[in-house]
């Protein structure tokens, strides 16, 4: 089983739609989780951390389910500019991170 698994998509949604991505992780001892955004041929950038109690940042909501070992990202009122690849990231012991392969989102007019 891979450390971090994501549905690669692509998810094609119209503007204004709500879309959700899930991610599963294999190490039950993992403590910290993140979502990064990566635009085509660019570097990844931190979108948001995922806290145990769930957290929201504007149109974005992240949730963690430790019992089932999955993380979710919900995007409400999708914008064209949300089109990107969303990477699920799980902290490893020490200084390193495990990255998922990413979920591709395309928001259409």
Partner 1 sequence: DGGITQSPKYLFRKEGQNVTLSCEQNLNHDAMYWYRQDPGQGLRLIYYSQIVNDFQKGDIAEGYSVSREKKESFPLTVTSAQKNPTAFYLCASRDPEHSYSGANVLTFGAGSRLTVL
Rounded to the nearest whole angstrom, what is the least distance from the CB of residue 76 to partner 1 in the complex? 24
In contact, 103 and 7? CB cutoff 8 Å = yes
Q: What are phi and psi of 80, to 5 degrees?
A: -55, -35
Rounded to the nearest whole angstrom, what is the least distance from the CB of residue 73 to partner 1 in the complex? 16
Query: What does the alpha-carbon distance between residue 103 and residue 24 come to, in Å, rounded to a whole number?
Result: 12
In contact, 51 and 32? CB cutoff 8 Å = no
In this complex, which beta carbon is closest to partner 1, that of residue 14 or of residue 41? Answer: 41
Rounded to the nearest whole angstrom, what is the least distance from the CB of residue 7 to partner 1 in the complex? 13
Rounded to the nearest whole angstrom, what is the least distance from the CB of residue 21 to partner 1 in the complex? 14
Query: What does the alpha-carbon distance between residue 40 and residue 20 come to, in Å, rounded to a whole number?
Result: 20
Contacts to partner 1 by CB under 8 A: 4, 8, 31-32, 34, 41-46, 49, 87, 91, 95-102
In this complex, which beta carbon is closest to partner 1, that of residue 18 or of residue 52? Answer: 52
In angstroms, the Cα distances linking 6 to 15, 50, 91, 109 are 23, 16, 16, 26
In this complex, which beta carbon is closest to partner 1, that of residue 75 or of residue 88? Answer: 88
In this complex, which beta carbon is closest to partner 1, that of residue 42 or of residue 59? Answer: 42
């Amino acid at each position: 089983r891979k450390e971090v698994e994501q549905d690669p998509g692509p998810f094609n949604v119209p503007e204004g739609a709500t879309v959700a991505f899930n991610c599963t992780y294999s190490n039950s001892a993992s403590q910290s989780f993140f979502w990064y955004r990566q635009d085509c041929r660019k570097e990844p950038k931190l979108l948001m951390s995922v806290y145990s109690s769930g957290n929201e940042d504007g149109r974005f909501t992240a949730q963690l389910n430790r019992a089932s070992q999955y993380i979710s990202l919900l995007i409400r009122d999708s914008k064209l500019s949300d089109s990107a690849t969303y990477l699920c990231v799980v902290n490893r012991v020490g200084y390193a991170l495990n990255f998922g392969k990413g979920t591709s989102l395309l928001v259409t007019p």
